[in-house]
Structure 1
Amino acid sequence: MNLRNMALCSMFFWLICFKVSAQENSNYPSLKPIEYKENVRAPFSAQELGFLEEVYGEYLDQVILNNNQKQKEIKNLLRNRIEYLQINDASDQKKCEMLSEVSLFDAYNKNLTRDKKFNQDLFNPLKYNFNFYSRGSQMYRVDGTNYFILIRSQYNY
Structure 2
Amino acid sequence: MRRILLLISFFAIVFTVQNVNAQNNRKLKTQPVKYGDNLEAPFTAKELGMLEEVYQDKLEKYVLSRPQKIKDLKHLLRNRLLITKLPHYNSKSKVTLLSTVGLFNNYNKELKRDQSFDINTFNPLKYNLEFFKVGSAIYRIDNTQYYIVIKAQNLKK
Counting matched residue pairs gives 139
Residue 134 of structure 1 is matched in structure 2 by 133
Which whole-Å CA distance do the structure 1 matches of 2:132 and 2:21 have between them? 23
- Identical pairs, percent: 42
Give distance in 2, aligned partners of 1:154 and 1:28. 20
Counterpart position of 2:68: 69
1:110 pairs with 2:109: yes
RMSD: 2.3
Structure 1 equivalent of residue 25 of structure 2? 26
Match of 2:100 in 1: 101
Residues 19-75 of structure 1, C-alpha deviations (whole Å, 9 max, x = no match): x97653218741221121111111000111111110000000000000000000000
Q: TM-score, normalised by structure 2?
A: 0.80
Q: What residue identity is the alignment partner of 1:108?
A: Y
**How far off is 1:117 after superposition?**
1.5
Q: What are the ranges of 5 or more consecutive residues in structure 2 without an aligned counterpart?
A: 1-18
Whether the 8 Å CA contact 1:87–1:93 is kept in 2: the answer is no
* SS of structure 2 residue aligned to 1:41: coil
Q: Given the two structures, how large is their TM-score scaled by the length of structure 1? A: 0.80
Aligned to 1:17: none
1:143 counterpart letter in structure 2:
D
Following TM superposition, by how much is the alpha carbon of 1:81 offset from its aligned partner in structure 2, in angstroms?
0.5
Work out whether residues 135 and 154 of structure 1, in 8 Å CA contact, stay in contact via their aligned partners in 2.
yes
Distance 1:33 1:23 in 2: 22
CA displacement at 1:90 relative to structure 2: 5.2
Per-residue deviation, residues 73-108 of structure 1 (Å, max 9, x unmatched): 000001111111212125476331100001000000
- 1:64·1:71 contact (CA, 8 Å) conserved in 2? yes
Instruction: Tell me the equivalent position of 2:13.
Output: none
Counterpart code for 2:137:
Q
**Which residue of the partner structure matches residue 84 of structure 1?**
83
How far apart, CA to CA, are the structure 1 residues paired with 2:93 and 2:147?
Answer: 9
Structure 1 gaps of 5+ residues are 1-19
Counterpart Cα distance in 1 of 2:27 and 2:149: 23
Give 3-state SS (helix, strand or coil) of 1:150's partner. strand
Whether 1:150 aligns to 2:156 is no
